[in-house]
Structure 1
Amino acid sequence: MVIAAVIFAGLAALLHVYIFTMESLTWTTPRTRAVFGTTAEEAETTKLMALNQGFYNLFLAIVSIVGIIAILQGHTGIGAALIFAGVGSMLAAAVVLLASAPDKARAAVTQGAFPLVAVVLLVIALI
């Protein structure tokens, strides 16, 4: 069960690295604007905010990856704590998105599905 949790935490981390890429590196490109539903003007205006938000996503991914590495090296407690911090924050952000913008439910589910599965599997593995 721990391995399954680690796999889903890894998928969540990879997704958030991708989100980082879109928000921090390609925010004003037509493809990324289509994903987020923004115009060229909106993207230009919100570029600095998106850059900052993208780095939040990257840092959550890094925390999760360090937790995965710790678990794989036999440091289950430390690794689990880091994974819970990383993917738990991802999951919480998805819940906030869903609660604050119900029209963004698809994005919230996309953002939160892997973290939710990782949290559930890790809890089951640890009890």
Structure 2
Amino acid sequence: MFIVKGLKRSYFEAISIVVILIFAIISMMPSANHNAYLKLNNGKLIYSGGMIDNKFSGEGKLIFKNHDYYVGNFKNGEFDGSGKFVSHEKWILTGNFEKGEPNGNEKMSNKGKNFFNGVVKDGSLTYAN
């Protein structure tokens, strides 16, 4: 009978270790990306798109109260990656963004006419034609 109790205990300990390992692995996994539709700041901002850890992430669209909008990639709640900012005054900035700011090859147009092609690095214009 002592051997049977010892086997039951070993079996229970093994199962407990497996369950603990499974929960440890699950807790270390990155948060799942999900889509959301949010009205923020009393409707002054409207966001639809991906979210991770309650921050804008992945593809999305952010509409401002004045009808400006950004459509493109987000990371940690900021414009990040390729995107397009469209002003209610009809100018459009298309290009790459990093940490919320234009960074990389950028193109600005107004009413379908290009009036700026250039490279922005760390917030400064480094090349334009």
TM-score (norm 1): 0.22
Larger Rg: 1 or 2? Answer: 2
Relative contact order (alpha carbons < 8 A, sep ≥ 6): 1 or 2 greater? 1
Question: Structure 1 or 2: larger helix share?
Answer: 1
Question: Structure 1 or 2: larger strand share?
Answer: 2
